[in-house]
Amino acid sequence: MTHTSPISNHLQSPFLYPLIDTHTHFDAPIFDEDRQHQAKHAYEQGVRHLVLVGYLHQHFSRLYETQQAIEQMSLVHTDEAQRSSLYPTAHIALGLHPFYIEQHTKDHLASLAKMIQDERPLAIGEIGLDTYTEAMKQPEAFAKQQRFFEAQLDMAVQHKLPVMLHIRKAHAEALAIIKAHDYDAHKLGGIAHSFSGGEQEAKAFVKLGFKLGVTGQITNPNAKKLRRAIKAAVDEYGIKCLVLETDCPDMTPIMCQTSDEPSENRSALGQSPDNEWQGADGHNRNVPANLPWVLKGLGELLNVEPAKLAQ
């Protein structure tokens, strides 16, 4: 059965600007049946670049396979003028996600370091800290998260690469590690992906040089804490402190959802690594083509014209 996104397949966004989807899991199996269609549709909606973000060592090769598949989609066209105007350009970030800390090993860290040396990805990520569950709050698990976070920050410094942070219910601890580390986002860049903290935390990350990743959650009027935090950061630092992301197949914009339950409550990433977003018809699968709706929701929140915000 082909998975579809009802909004992005039947409604075109009311505006078109060249955009970068800074955080996707477009390599996930849930896109296997219609990846070419979704890539083409994303381009039609203005998405010119998308970043495939790593989280488990066992799936790193899949990122490169997906990148190559997207490149091959264009190569089937013989018209040189069309080759660069049908599909987005895919980029890769490699990292060991804190939610999967029990599965990560020292060998995975060593392999990651070699891949960064050999392949030089766009960024290192997603990395960070996560205490979403009781098990992840346990001292041993959290200490391991911290070790892996610091080790990957070391790699970023060594290779002069930006990082993509995954921080959930551990913002203070993550800020403390970053402040004590040699990693300097003002020089190297970096994104606090799918930012979920409060106003002071938002401003703290921007002050350290990070951009705040804004997802479809911004379109949810009930996400009041997030909306206040984004506005507070923009009030102090301007709209340049933000980047857009879908985090597909999660974080579907509210206007693109087909059921009443917020999609982030059913996030499959981190639920079961052996069943990544499979059978997700009721999951309101997010797609890269939905990125303009994130832009629209953010523009409405900030009262900023979409054209200016897209730039």
Contacts of 69 (CB under 8 A, 6+ apart): 35, 36
User: If 0-12 CB within 10 Å is exposed, 13-18 middle and 19+ buried, where does residue 251 land?
Assistant: buried
Distance in angstroms (rounded) separating the CA atoms of residues 221 and 17: 24
- For the stretch 177-229, pLDDT in tens is 999 999 999 999 999 999 999 999 999 999 999 999 999 999 999 999 999 99
| % pLDDT > 70, the chain | 84
Q: Give 163's strand partners.
A: 124, 190
Which of these, 42, 39, 53, 139, lies nearest to 91 by C-alpha position? 53
- pTM: predicted TM-score of the whole model, two decimal places: 0.89
| % pLDDT > 90, the chain | 81
Half-sphere exposure of 88 (CA within 13 A, CB side): 32
- For the stretch 152-182, pLDDT in tens is 999 999 999 999 999 999 999 999 999 999 9
- For the stretch 23-43, pLDDT in tens is 999 999 999 999 999 999 999
The pLDDT of residue 5 is above 50: no
Contacts of 192 (CB under 8 A, 6+ apart): 165, 167, 205, 210, 211, 212, 213
Cβ atoms 45, 291 nearer than 8 A: yes
Distance in angstroms (rounded) separating the CA atoms of residues 211 and 245: 12
Q: Which DSSP helix (H) or strand (E) runs through 23?
A: strand 19-24
Helix pair 224-237, 291-302: axis angle to 10 deg: 70
- pLDDT of res. 271: 46
Cβ atoms 59, 27 nearer than 8 A: yes
Q: Give 10's strand partners.
A: none
Q: Is the dihedral of CA 46, 38, 57, 202 positive or negative?
A: positive
